Chains A and B, each alone.
Chain A
């Protein structure tokens, strides 16, 4: 991911406080673009919440059940 922290750092901030560690003020921000609504993403999301074993990297994967 392209680090664009400088460009977007004012959009969402970690609060300044003595109990916040130094590293938390150095988290990275990337632009992720618009919501992806492609068929492939919809297909993946369909199974995400259903508790099947997920594996989309392998064609003959061990998805147990497809509605």
Chain B
């Protein structure tokens, strides 16, 4: 049995599942709380994980319909740790314990349970990490720099004065992006059945408005790098699969390639990074304890490779499909073949 921790609508997961079917390998997909009637429910299984005592005899067992589930491998594609099925199923009665407090208690207990299950499953053959589904951007940038990768000039600050000095130092062209993940996008109704859509991208700053407060929450800024092209590298268990993306040719994708232009998609070509860069990325992934990651780099007009960031649960379908890397097949083979 291959366990997959993911989301309801992650197309890459489904492509891998297609290949698992092809290899006649069973799978079970777990998706998170809030995603309605998922394919996994806690109550249809029996879990027992035994350990300790003088002889320290350890045993793990998961039963479905009285059948022991033989764990082959686990893919922590996009793990969600708060699979609480109680709140959505339970109708509160008048004399029930306050819903908020009960919900909080149940949720925190589930988190411990899921963390423990994830910790145990990482003892088996696995790809991805249950613990690491987001990274600390400034720490990753620091670690990348320590390993010899070039990173853009960066400042984390809460001071407008210091930001202003940095802005001047970077020739009045800087970018601002979230220090963590982007804010969850939002559809806002402006008239009946008419909407605006709010979402976060990397933004270019070419002037600092007068109305910016002197102090704001600590934020991340980087110098703007004039790019020749972008490189997206999908790292899977020691191998790098890269694509050069000519996002700078379209104004809409120039600053952030995620702002895709449906009528004029960016051109991708398969790309081989220099061995020295690949070796440094490999060392960085080992340092971060990751076997999978979507890594963003820039090849600048001055000929340098700039490391930007790693998404440990990033999308890779575009790179796989356009560059013919067959990454879904490779991931399925990695899960099926426990010897690798």
Contact = CB atoms under 8 A, between A and B. Distances in A.
Contacts of A29: 196-198
B18 A35 contact: no
A62 B147 CA distance: 43
Contact of A51 (B39, B205, B218, B252): B39
A33 B194 contact: yes
A54 B163 CA distance: 45
Interface stretch (B92-100, B174-182, B280-288, B303-311): B174-182
Interface string A28-65: 11111111000000000000111101110100011000
A32 B319 CA distance: 27
Interface stretch (B29-37, B53-61, B125-133): B29-37
Contacts of A26: 176, 203, 205
B11 interface: yes
B219 interface: yes
Contacts of B31: 51
A29 to B, nearest CB: 5
A22 B197 contact: no
Interface residue range, chain A: 35 or more
Nearest to A4: B196
Contacts of A49: 36-37
Interface of A: 1-4, 8, 11-12, 16, 18-35, 48-51, 53-55, 57, 61-62
Contacts of A53: 14, 17, 29, 39
The 6 closest A-B pairs by CB, nearest first: A22-B219, A35-B193, A51-B37, A21-B217, A26-B203, A32-B195
Interface residues of B, number: 46
Interface of B: 8-9, 11, 14, 17-18, 21, 29, 31, 35-39, 163, 176-179, 183, 186-188, 190, 193-201, 203, 205, 212-213, 215-221, 252, 259
20 contacts: A11-B190, A12-B188, A12-B198, A18-B217, A21-B178, A22-B176, A27-B183, A27-B199, A28-B201, A28-B259, A29-B196, A29-B197, A30-B199, A33-B194, A34-B195, A51-B37, A53-B14, A53-B29, A55-B11, A62-B14
A8 B194 CA distance: 13
B170 to A, nearest CB: 15
Given A11-B188, A27-B183, A53-B29, A22 B212 contact: yes
A48 B198 CA distance: 21
Contacts of B35: 51
B198 A28 contact: yes
Contacts of A48: 8-9
Given A22-B219, A24-B200, A29-B198, 12 more contacts: A3-B259, A12-B186, A12-B198, A21-B179, A22-B212, A24-B183, A27-B201, A28-B199, A30-B197, A34-B193, A49-B37, A51-B35
